[in-house]
Amino acid sequence: MLPNLIVLTISGWHNLSNLLWVIRLTGLEDLTSYRCSEMEQIVNLDNEIDLNGGEENSIGATKWAFPSLRRLCLRDLRSLRVFGVSFVSPSLEVRHVMDCPKMEALPFGKEMAVRKLKKI
């Protein structure tokens, strides 16, 4: 599904609750979402993913859900609470999170120790 898509912007899709379907876009480098009033989480995968393996979850995606993602911008997502426990991107360089008042925490797990973000 759209293997060559590298930039995706989602705006004003008010009844969208997550971006789970976007993990199938393995070539995605730039993801921006803003003014989606009902979005509560970015990804919510059913299975916990082992940090050392390629175990698949219920939709057939591995833990490296966004292997090429370099830039993530989330803005004016009033209902956004979490990124999701399995949101991992080994190539992420820039992360913008603005005007997300219900955000509980940014995901800085073990995978963040092996590289350095250029901008948060």
Q: What tens digit of pLDDT does each residue of 18-74 get?
A: 888 888 888 999 999 999 999 998 876 554 444 444 444 444 444 556 788 899 999
Question: Parallel, antiparallel, or unpaired for β 30-34 and 94-98?
Answer: unpaired
Q: In Å, how far are 50, 54, 57, 74, 113 from 9, measured between CA atoms?
A: 29, 28, 25, 10, 28
Would the CA dihedral through 40, 7, 13, 117 be positive or negative? positive
Please, what is the average pLDDT of the chain?
77
| Confidence at residue 83, expressed as pLDDT on a 0 to 100 scale | 77
Q: Which are the contacts of 3, defined by CB distance < 8 A and separation ≥ 6?
A: 26, 27
| Confidence at residue 105, expressed as pLDDT on a 0 to 100 scale | 74
Q: Which are the contacts of 116, defined by CB distance < 8 A and separation ≥ 6?
A: none
